[in-house]
Structure 1
Amino acid sequence: MNGFAKRAELIREKIKKTVLEMLKTWEPRKIRIADIAAEARVSQVTIYNYFGSKESLLREAFKDYMEKSFADFEAFIATGPTMKEIVQYSLFYDKEAIHAYSPDFFREFLVDDREMYEYMERIYRDRAMPLVVRFIEEGKKRGEISSKLSTPTLVMYFNMFKDQSKTILDMAQQSGDPEAFVEEIIRLFYYGVCGEDR
């Protein structure tokens, strides 16, 4: 990569990082290119030249966020955690994400934007699901997941939660305490209605 290409890539990364920071306090629909340009200290023309449109920029920034999140999760999984540690990690991640970004942020990208929805479906199908199946099989071997439950049934259970993501995001926002709501949902997911680790 020559000097010009390196500078261009640094500018692109700076703009995407700026957008992700802005999304912590701004609703995606209300952000304008002029606002992004001012925050990133670049011209609006630069943003249009690199990304073409606000929508494309937001999608690229969100994809970067998701790729980093998934890479972090894969690195965590490589350490060989227990199922309980995986749930705790997920809980911590979800609480951090909800603290940093509003449910509107996730709803707009994961539910309302068809292109991003399809992108997330590919990530889930091609990368996340193989990990889920592996978690299940390893969890059964360690006795952390009931051997009476088949892997296809457990995958269906995971998919039920995923398919209700819009409802969960709406309810988290309406609850008045999104972090506590997410903690309860994950506890319900892992422990069921008995609500305790046995």
Structure 2
Amino acid sequence: MNGFEKRSALIKEKITSATLEMLKTWEPKRMRIADIAKAANVSQVTIYKHFGSKEELLRETLKHLVEQSTSEFEAFIHQEPSMKEIVQYILGMKKGTYTLLRPSLVQTLMIEDPEMFQYLQVQYAERTLPLMVRMVEEGQARGEISSKVSANAVLMYMQMYMKSMEELLEQAKAEESLDTFMEETLHLFFYGIFGRDAGEQE
């Protein structure tokens, strides 16, 4: 990468970072190029030069976030963590993503942008899903997951948790108990309502 390319990459990163920060509190439809340019401390011409339109900027910002999160998850899985560590990581990642972008906002962006929807579908099918299946199969091989349940059943169980995370995180945030919420969610995932850790005494 030559000097010009490096400067261009830095400018694009500056703009997408400002856009991501704005998305925490702004609805996409209300965001204008002028507002983003002011937040990023660049000219509107610079944004159009690098992205062409607001829609493309939003698309590239979300793609960057997805790519970063997926790559980090891949690197984590390659360390061969335990099943409990994996679930802790996923819940923590959900918590972190929630502080950046509300799931409902991501859904809105997907509905309004068929190209973004297709991109996320491909990312899930080609990268995330194979990792999740591998995670379950390795957990079963280590005896951490019952062999009586299939990989599909475990993934469905996890997806049920994830689909309700936004509402639950909203409540936990309102009560200022995010950390406690994450600990309790992890306990419920592994031990249920009546279960207990192996180290707990009767």
TM over 0.5: same fold? yes
Amino acid at match of 1:107: Q
Residue of structure 1 in register with 2:26 after alignment: 26
In 2 relative to 1, CA 119–73 (structure 1 residues): closer, same or farther, beyond 3 Å?
Answer: same
Report how far residue 113 of structure 1 moved. 3.5
1:190 deviates by: 4.8
1:186 is displaced (CA, Å) by: 6.2
Say yes or no: does 1:136 pair with 2:136: yes
Name structure 2 gaps, 5 residues minimum. none
TM-aligned CA distance change 1:38 to 1:98, over 3 Å: same
Q: Which whole-Å CA distance do the structure 1 matches of 2:130 and 2:171 have between them?
A: 33
In 2, the alpha carbon distance for the partners of 1:98 and 1:145 equals: 28
Matched AA of 1:94: K
The answer to whether the Cα contact below 8 Å between 1:110 and 1:117 also exists between their aligned partners in 2 is yes
Could you say which residue in structure 1 is the equivalent of 2:90? Answer: 90
Counterpart secondary structure, 2:127:
helix
- Alpha-carbon distance, 1:150 to partner: 2.2
Distance 1:65 1:72, change over 3 A: same
Extract unaligned runs of 5+ from structure 1.
none
Shift of 1:109: 3.1
Asked if 1:108 corresponds to 2:108, the answer is: yes
Distance 1:122 1:9, change over 3 A: same
What's the Cα RMSD here? 2.9
Instruction: Tell me the equivalent position of 2:3.
Output: 3
Secondary structure of the structure 2 residue equivalent to 1:26: coil
Pair 31,196 (structure 1): closer, same or farther in 2 beyond 3 Å: farther
Question: Deviation at 1:177?
Answer: 4.0
Aligned residue in 2 for 1:161: 160
Matches within 5 A, 1:1-198: 1-158=1-158, 161=160, 165=163, 168=164, 171-172=167-168, 175=171, 177=173, 179=178, 183=182, 190-192=190-192, 194=194, 196-197=196-197
Question: What is the percentage of aligned positions where both structures have the same residue?
Answer: 48
2-structure distance, mates of 1:25, 1:3: 35
Contact 1:87 1:190 in 2 (8 A): no
TM-score (norm. length: structure 1): 0.80
Structure 1 residue 14 displacement after superposition: 1.4
Q: Is the 8 A contact 1:37 1:44 kept in 2?
A: yes
Inter-partner Cα distance in structure 2 for 1:63 and 1:135? 24
* TM-score (norm. length: structure 2): 0.79
The 3 A distance-change label for structure 1 pair 6 and 100 is closer
Using a 3 Å threshold, how does the CA distance of structure 1 residues 144 and 108 change in structure 2: closer, same or farther? same
Q: In the alignment, is the contact (CA less than 8 A) between 1:103 and 1:172 conserved in 2?
A: no
Matched length = 194
Change (3 A) 1:150 1:173: closer
